[in-house]
Structure 1
Amino acid sequence: MYYGFDIGGTKIELAVFNEKLERQYSERVPTPQDNYEEWLNAIVNLVKKADEKFGCKGTVGLGLPGFVNKETGIAEITNIRVADNKPILKDLSERLDREVRAENDANCFALSEAWDEENQQYPCVLGLILGTGFGGGIVIDGKVHSGQTGMAGELGHLQLNYHALKLLGWDKAPIYDCGCGNRACLDTYLSGRGFEMLYRDLKGEALSAKEIIEKFYAGEQSAVEFVELFIELCAISIGNIITALDPNVIVLGGGLSNFDYLYEALPKALPAHLMRSAKIPLIKKARYGDSGGVRGAAALFLSR
């Protein structure tokens, strides 16, 4: 059996999957906040309970809101302070007497989608999350590409380029600070949060993403103009990513992925920002939603 964990700041979820990545069982517990040993034990206890339930020694994959540095083995997960800067894989492997693997939660999202039956035909799957932030994961031949240290796919920390700034207006382009310490990162523009902030700062009205989209579908000029600008901003930024990676398919997740107009408009806007011979990848909505994290974590032990 394949065990996948979604490690969050408030809860730890375990889901157990069979070889077809069909969910068999799941359980959640609160994330211990004060003691590293308690945090380790919460995971260990869930694994041992699953082992007993299924009569086997399952594989253990973790999806993290951060990553484990491949060179040092130290976790960089700043929003889970109790486990940040700790050798979590070494410690868990010793306690569980088996290998434990971990990846960034966006990579797990992408991996889950890449192992969908329809997507297994594609050598390169790019997962993009347009949610509270903007992030991504790169899957090549069924394996996450996470780079030298584990931070490959941190696409939210690419920065606005010349064309994006020109689109937003040199003299009025809002420049947002990013939590990473830099400015003008895509995380603060292509996310649902960025969608709302841009509308506020460009149109002078604070609305939720849902309200903006409702106004767009109602044909209100301000919202229509803004959405077209946002689509162009996405095309400029995602076009750069396509040029670098040339993926076969892009799977969108996060709240803004439910804005169906994206799937109609983005493929039409992309060619202007790609090389002449580029092929527009298939762009589709994520299938597994909130289950993608644990499913992708379980898939860390699968191979083609």
Structure 2
Amino acid sequence: MYYYGLDIGGTKIELAVFNQKLEKLHSERVNTPKEDYHEWLEAVAGLVERADSRFDCKGTVGIGVPGFVNRESGLAEITNIRAADNRPIIFDLSQRLDREVRAENDANCFAISEAWAEENQQYPFVLGLILGTGFGGGLVFNGKAHAGHVGMAGELGHIQLNYHALKLLGWDKAPIYECGCGNRACLDTYLSGRGFEMLYRDLKGEALPAKTIIERFYANDATAVSFVQLFIELTAISIGNIITVLDPDMIVLGGGLSNFDYLYQALPKALPAHLMRSAVVPVIKKAKYGDSGGVRGAAALFLSR
């Protein structure tokens, strides 16, 4: 049996083929059709059919999408891929490929991939957090994603700043950012790499890329050090709330900002002040599979423990 995982991005669609141990055997990428739905379906189907031919089988098809498929309506909510948005992609792909197709949010696929790592299978509940262009999450219980009633569970980026976060940032000077979801002060615009840069700009008065801020931090630049300490506290306040609600066994961090290694030293120390007395800070790890996590997790949609 071969397991196909597809990562549906706004620019590229990647298909990868895995065996039962989730070892990658093959991959291919094509450009994402942006306007025509039929072209989008054929791009996905073409990748699958070429893999079928290469491996002389009908592999399972799991896809990760930057959004979710509404479980009630069957329609995809993928606002950054107009061709597939508000379309019955699972029904149409299943018909086109003559097999079951499963789909999950790309953050869930990231978390599934990490939860299926051999060393992480000891943790029943894995919480994946992506600190990338945005901030999002995936919830995985015993190797399976929890998507919720309509499919949007794990949209942690759209929790909003709380009292303690606003107090930390300064009541009279806290920058309040508009979010792409239509609300304001969502964590997506603060805990992301983009938020890291915007906060430095607005609190420290200088527009710098995250990489430069982190380099200055490691060089003991006083401004960068004070900013990073504030960002760690803001992150601890926000993730502390999430831990209080979910109580995960393990947290895995992905996205560009997850490569800031100081996080793994500082966060476990900062979190206890924002948790209930009996709470335990979960194991916090850096993602193992990086850019391969999306396709790997999508392929694992057909695996069970």
Q: TM-score range by the shorter chain?
A: over 0.9
User: How does the TM-score come out when normalised to structure 2?
Assistant: 0.99
Q: Deviations over 1:24-73 (max 9, x none)?
A: 00001111123111110111111111111111110000110110000000
SS in 2 for 1:118: helix
Counterpart for residue 2 of structure 1 = 3
Counterpart for residue 212 of structure 2 = 211
Pairing of 1:98-137 with structure 2 (within 5 A): 98-137=99-138
**How far did residue 125 of structure 1 move?**
0.2
Counterpart for residue 49 of structure 2 = 48
Measured in 1, the distance between the counterparts of 2:177 and 2:99 equals: 44
Q: Which amino acid aligns with 1:189?
A: Y
Measured in 2, the distance between the counterparts of 1:88 and 1:249 equals: 32
SS in 2 for 1:6: strand
Counterpart for residue 91 of structure 1 = 92
Q: Deviations over 1:99-126 (max 9, x none)?
A: 1000111110000000000101100000
1:265 paired to 2:243? no
**How far did residue 302 of structure 1 move?**
0.7
**How far did residue 189 of structure 1 move?**
0.2
Measured in 1, the distance between the counterparts of 2:252 and 2:222 equals: 29
Structure 1: unaligned runs, 5 residues or longer: none
Counterpart for residue 162 of structure 1 = 163
Q: Which amino acid aligns with 1:182?
A: N
Q: Deviations over 1:154-182 (max 9, x none)?
A: 00000000000000000000000000000
Counterpart for residue 66 of structure 1 = 67
1:174 paired to 2:166? no
Measured in 2, the distance between the counterparts of 1:256 and 1:52 equals: 39
Runs of 4+ displaced beyond 4 Å: none
Measured in 1, the distance between the counterparts of 2:211 and 2:154 equals: 27
Counterpart for residue 25 of structure 1 = 26
**How far did residue 244 of structure 1 move?**
0.6
Measured in 1, the distance between the counterparts of 2:256 and 2:284 equals: 16
Pairing of 1:256-295 with structure 2 (within 5 A): 256-295=257-296
1:188 paired to 2:189? yes
SS in 2 for 1:213: helix
Q: Deviations over 1:243-298 (max 9, x none)?
A: 11100110000111010000000000000000000011000100000000000000
Q: Which amino acid aligns with 2:188?
A: D
Aligned-pair RMSD on alpha carbons?
A: 0.6
Q: Which amino acid aligns with 2:87?
A: K
Measured in 2, the distance between the counterparts of 1:179 and 1:199 equals: 20
SS in 1 for 2:196: helix
SS in 1 for 2:119: coil
SS in 2 for 1:256: helix
Counterpart for residue 247 of structure 2 = 246
SS in 1 for 2:102: strand
Moved more, 28-37 or 55-64: 28-37
1:139 paired to 2:122? no
Structure 2: unaligned runs, 5 residues or longer: none
Q: How many residues align?
A: 304
**How far did residue 226 of structure 1 move?**
0.5
Q: Which amino acid aligns with 1:154?
A: E
Measured in 2, the distance between the counterparts of 1:213 and 1:289 equals: 20
Measured in 2, the distance between the counterparts of 1:40 and 1:214 equals: 44
Measured in 2, the distance between the counterparts of 1:69 and 1:164 equals: 32
SS in 2 for 1:137: strand
User: How does the TM-score come out when normalised to structure 1?
Assistant: 0.99
